[in-house]
Amino acid sequence: MRAIITGVGHYVPDNILTNQDLEKMVDTNDEWIISRTGIKERRILDKDKGTSYIAAKAAKSVLEQTNTAADELDLIIVATSTPNMLVPSTAAFVQNELNATNCWGFDINAACAGFIYALATAAQFIETGKHNKIMVIGADKMSAIINYEDRNTCLIFGDGGGAVLLEPSNEEDKLGVEDYIFHLEGSGAKYLNMPAGGSLFPASHETVDKKMHYVFQDGKKIFKYAVTEMSDVSIKIMEKNRLTGKDIKLLIPHQANLRIINAVAKKMGLTHDQVMINIEKYGNTTAGTIPIAMSEAYEKKMMSKGDWIIISTFGAGFTSGSLLLKWALD
Ligand code: COA
């Protein structure tokens, strides 16, 4: 039994934050942001809504697309670093919003690698024959944890998310999730984190005064790690499966920085039209980037049934990973 993606959708909020808007907020400029990151604008969710709003919207679009009733779902997995609350899971909010009455669910916190970690996790439940319909969601409301006075971070991140439906298949041409290579390197935790709000530094006047509820990053360290790690895992998964750049229809990379994406694609031997890029519109939506990019690539008909797709990512942890799949939709 193999796990195949039978539907994919996404949701981004309407509200747009442009580079020109940011010029009025911090000492930066449009040209610098575009040349260093490739980002032109990002989406911002209303203050009174949580990540589950994005997640449920994306999931509903997949249910509609696949003609699936919410009560057919066996499991909901939400990858996010910005849960509505620490307890309960964001999956609980999504289950309630969808009225998915026959399922269980949980969250995965693996930052920007969250969606593919969730996808691989869900694939196990399908491959063992345990479940038939799993909604895998990657969504983040990064604006909730970004300091819009910090030019180091505020220009990079945005809000949004996407979802896929995973189902079993035993077609002869072996579609679906083929392989994955994942890494976790905890020594990287100090370079990208949100220090307070957890059990180590619970919220206090001091944590608020010290701005510890916002994302901190050492951009240069992350950049270096991302290019090396993302290229390594992407090349390894090709070698392990005896594929070369020519065999890959599409790379769907985590959208963190256009220079990182281009460096990885070059090392993999891919041409520009083999890479899905939409970072200019949304920035880095953390667990959201990959399902959003997959959904837009599907809308643009950038892949067909039987094509090899590689999904590659890196993120806080440090996490990194590459997942190889044979596209199952027409
Ligand atoms: N606007 C304008 N100028 C800026 C700026 C900003 N937002 N930030 C820094 N600068 C200036 C600096 O002062 C410096 O000027 P100088 O050369 O005159 O000293 C110059 O631009 C270069 O600064 P630096 O900090 O070296 O920038 P960088 O090339 O490393 O780019 C990032 C910064 C954050 C864009 C880049 O490091 C990055 O994208 N890293 C990865 C982050 C990431 O992906 N995080 C999420 C992981 S999932």
Q: What is the pLDDT of residues 200-211, one digit of tens each?
A: 999 999 999 999
Question: Is-cis flag, bond preceding 318, omega within 30?
Answer: yes
* Helical (H) or strand (E) element with 16: strand 16-18
Active-site entry in 19, 112, 154, 257: 112
Percent of the chain with pLDDT over 70: 100
Mean pLDDT in residue range 141-159: 98
Residues having CB closer than 6 A to ligand 1 are 28, 32, 36-37, 112, 151-152, 155-156, 192, 217, 219-220, 222-223, 256-257, 284, 315
Q: What is the pTM assigned to this prediction?
A: 0.97
Q: What is the pLDDT of residue 172?
A: 82
Where does the pLDDT of residue 173 fall: very low under 50, low under 70, confident under 90, or very high at 90 and above?
Answer: confident
Q: Cα torsion at 103, 107, 113, 115 (round to 10°)?
A: 30
Q: How many CB atoms lie within 10 A of CB 1?
A: 12
Q: What is the pLDDT of residue 168?
A: 97
pLDDT in tens, 33-47: 999 999 999 999 999
Q: What is the pLDDT of residue 291?
A: 98
Query: In this structure, which residue's CA is closest to atom 7 in ligand 1?
Result: 151
The two tokens of residue 97 are 């919003």
Where does the pLDDT of residue 177 fall: very low under 50, low under 70, confident under 90, or very high at 90 and above?
Answer: very high
Tell me if 55 sits within 8 A of 84, measured CB to CB. no
Q: Which residue has the higher pLDDT, 171 or 231?
A: 231
pLDDT in tens, 240-283: 999 999 999 999 999 999 999 999 999 999 999 999 999 999 99
CA 104/CA 121 separation, integer angstroms: 14
pLDDT mean across residues, the chain: 97
The two tokens of residue 266 are 């070059």
N- to C-terminal Cα separation, the chain: 20
Express the helix, strand and coil content of the chain in percent, nearest 5 each. 40, 25, 35
Residue where the block lists tokens 């039994």 = 1
112 is catalytic: yes
84 is catalytic: no
Query: In this structure, which residue's CA is closest to atom 34 in ligand 1?
Result: 219
Q: What is the pLDDT of residue 214?
A: 98
Taken in order of first residue, the domains within the chain and their CATH numbers are: 3-168 (3.40.47.10), 176-326 (3.40.47.10)
CA 86/CA 63 separation, integer angstroms: 27
Query: In this structure, which residue's CA is closest to atom 21 in ligand 1?
Result: 32
Where does the pLDDT of residue 5 fall: very low under 50, low under 70, confident under 90, or very high at 90 and above?
Answer: very high
284 is catalytic: yes
CA 239/CA 304 separation, integer angstroms: 23
Tell me if 161 sits within 8 A of 54, measured CB to CB. yes
Alpha helix ranges (H) inside 66-192: 90-98, 114-127
pLDDT value at 223 more than 90: yes
pLDDT value at 170 more than 90: no
